[in-house]
Amino acid sequence: MDKKRRDFLKVAGISTLAGLGGTAVVDRLVSGTHPSVANASGGHGEEHAAPKEEHAVQEAPKTGKRYGMVIDVKKFQEDPALGERISRACIQAHNIPEFPEKKDEIKWIWMTGYENAFPEKSTLYKDETTEEHQVPVLCNHCDNPPCVRACPTKATFKNKDGIVIMDFHRCIGCRFCMAACPYGMRSFNWRNPRDFITEVNRDFPSRMRGVVEKCNFCAERIGVGQKPACVEACGDTGAMVFGDLNDPESEVRKLLKENYTIQRRPSLGTHPSVFYIV
Amino acid sequence: MYDSSKIIPGLIIFVLFVTIPIWYNHGDAGAAPEIKLPQDAKACVRPTAEMRASHMQLLNQWRDEVLRDGDRGTIEVDGKHYKKSLMLTCMECHTSKKQFCDKCHDYASVKPYCWDCHLAPVE
């Protein structure tokens, strides 16, 4: 075959140019069609789209439910046994295993020091009650939950009532959600939890080794019109009040209107649905 | 072919060897499992044939409706209301996992992971 180097370089050069130029032209054509389509369908919709999205991030949606909770820390200070009662109620309701070693621990709701719950607050000179007492912590059921964004299988998701729950069937145990949660409210089953459940509740499943779990706001109970187990354990004390934050007439909204409340790490923009009266 | 006197018998032996499972079990699929049906319940949520063929799809559908859509409504069959739940509905009538679920699953050699988390009735 008689092929000259000069001819080969000519063909190669032209095809390179055609390749580069061709993709550029195609890209231009594709991106060129998009704005015209949007304009045709929405008229002035485009300029409103961006601020609307920002608005959605900053404020809770006005329609639909958003379950939340108001916790009165003072009631927990008055009754030191209350903290143990609520975590016990949760353990029984959800078949939470109790491992002998702390590193295996599974926790949904528990009592912790004030500075752990609210690390952004100054604790340089704490008053005596804050020093002596603990604060209950649980999943905040954020309106903008980072764990949901991190989950690769959509095992963690926000349901129609604004509760961040887990579909354990889908959890692959990657623990991205644990890294994403800025509150550390998730636990991982390092061991098979079956043998470490002290009191079995036959109305609720257990979990298996290799899944993450956390508070589900008792979705299975509120779905049938009951209160969450921890709220029920508080009885008439009013230490924990559960309700719809989007309903202006609800008890939680009344409490929020009457009391000064704080949220955990509000600067992160996760919009927690759990409020604390301190 | 060179050495055909060795190669052909060798091939025959090889084919017979790899097909051992087929001719060894030929015509004998083992006795079909006999499952214990509930004594006090006559009707299931779906007809027997449908349940036998597609109970797994129904369970998945229930799971998605209850958990993901939050639709915890009951289903009505012949005037009776049933919850969409494996533990609270199916196992209420089929009180024995060993006599009901496992019989067929073992026979068909399927290993569903339901009971890794869900609690089987005490037997």
- Average pLDDT on A233-250 reads 95
The predicted pLDDT at position B40 comes to 84
Long-range CB pairs of A42-49, under 8 A, 24+ apart, other chains included: none
The predicted pLDDT at position B27 comes to 73
Residue B26 scores a pLDDT above 50: yes
Whether A174 contacts A66, CB under 8 Å: no
Strands, DSSP E only, in B1-123? Answer: 75-77, 80-82
Q: Which of A157, A206, A223 sits opposite B119 (nearest CB)?
A: A206
3-state secondary structure of B81: strand
- Average pLDDT on A226-231 reads 96
Where is average pLDDT lowest: A59-68, A76-85, A205-214, A251-260?
Answer: A59-68
Residue A165 sits at the chain B interface (C-beta within 8 Å): yes
The predicted pLDDT at position A65 comes to 92
Question: B99, exposed or middle or buried, with CB in 10 Å at 0-12, 13-18, 19+?
Answer: middle
Answer yes or no: do B116 and A224 touch at CB < 8 A. no
- Average pLDDT on B22-42 reads 83
Contacts of A140 (CB under 8 A, 6+ apart): A183, A185, A263, A264, A270, A272, A273, A274
The predicted pLDDT at position A27 comes to 82
Residue A61 scores a pLDDT above 60: no
The mean of the pLDDT values for chain A is 88
CA distance A220 to chain B (A): 9
Answer yes or no: do B69 and A206 touch at CB < 8 A. no
Residue owning tokens 């008055």: A78
**Residue B18 neighbours by CB distance under 10 Å:** 9
Tokens of A120: 């952004």
Answer yes or no: do A208 and B68 touch at CB < 8 A. no
Instruction: Pinpoint the alpha helices (H) of chain A.
Output: 5-42, 45-58, 73-78, 82-94, 114-117, 128-132, 146-150, 176-180, 219-222, 229-234, 251-258
Answer yes or no: do A159 and B117 touch at CB < 8 A. no
CA distance B85 to chain A (A): 10
Residue A205 sits at the chain B interface (C-beta within 8 Å): yes
Residue of chain A nearest B74, judged by CA positions: A224
The predicted pLDDT at position A32 comes to 63
Residue A167 sits at the chain B interface (C-beta within 8 Å): yes
CA distance A217 to chain B (A): 13
Instruction: Please name the residues between 85 and 104 in chain B that touch chain A, using a CB distance below 8 Å.
Output: 87-88
Answer yes or no: do B70 and A203 touch at CB < 8 A. no
Query: Nearest to residue B59, comparing CAs of B37, B95, B83, B92?
Result: B83
Chain B residues touching A202 at Cβ < 8 A: 87, 119
The predicted pLDDT at position A25 comes to 82
Concatenating the DSSP letter of every residue in A130-182 gives: HHH-EEEEE----SS-HHHHH-SSS-EEE-TTS-EEE-TTT-----HHHHH-T
A111-166 pLDDT per residue, tens: 999 999 999 988 888 888 888 999 999 999 999 999 999 999 999 999 999 999 99
The predicted pLDDT at position A231 comes to 96
Per domain, the residue ranges of chain B are 48-123
Residue B67 sits at the chain A interface (C-beta within 8 Å): yes
Answer yes or no: do A161 and B70 touch at CB < 8 A. yes
Chain A residues touching B113 at Cβ < 8 A: 208
CATH architecture of the domain covering A67-277: 2-Layer Sandwich (3.30)
B47-62 pLDDT per residue, tens: 999 999 999 999 999 9
Where is average pLDDT lowest: A8-12, A58-62, A208-212, B55-59?
Answer: A58-62
A7-54 pLDDT per residue, tens: 999 999 999 999 888 888 888 877 765 544 444 333 343 344 444 444
